[in-house]
Amino acid sequence: MRIQLLRTAAVTACLSAAVAAGLPSASAQGEPVLGTPMDQYSEGFGTVKPAMITQNSLCANLVHNIVWDSWGGPVAHGAGVQCQSAGAASRGEPAQPVSLTASDLGPCGGTLAYRTLQYDSNEPFPICRG
């Protein structure tokens, strides 16, 4: 019994670490993920409906408080807030809203994923690295 509890705890710890590391995942219902991580510093990519994404952990490309609609359809739309630089709020700079469009639903590294992402009206870019 004790060995089984230890084994269960070890598996739980490994799964928690994998989720925290942003490894690709999909829900039990097979919902698509958002592309794949760009590198070891990427967050949110490779997950279902991420509430925060960043390509390399720099504020310049971090979007947080993301709310998605139409997730699972051919195109998913999201709205979030761009990270503010240090001192921006104290200087009276308003938070900048960001609209996101995830598209090109298909296989990516063996997982169903949105393979293209567009910020506001900028050009869409590929987010599948597999």
pTM metric for this prediction: 0.74
Q: For the chain, give the percent of residues with pLDDT over 70.
A: 78
Show the DSSP H helices in the chain as ranges: 2-20
**95: DSSP letter:** P
User: Is the per-residue pLDDT at 7 higher than 80?
Assistant: no
Domain boundaries, the chain: 23-126
Query: pLDDT tens for residues 23-38?
Result: 444 444 589 999 999 8
Quote the DSSP letter at residue 110.
Answer: T
User: Are residues 46 and 127 in contact, defined by beta-carbon separation less than 8 angstroms?
Assistant: no
Residues 44-89 have pLDDT tens digits of 999 999 999 998 888 888 999 999 999 999 999 999 999 988 888 8
Q: Confirm if 47 and 33 have CB atoms less than 8 A apart.
A: yes
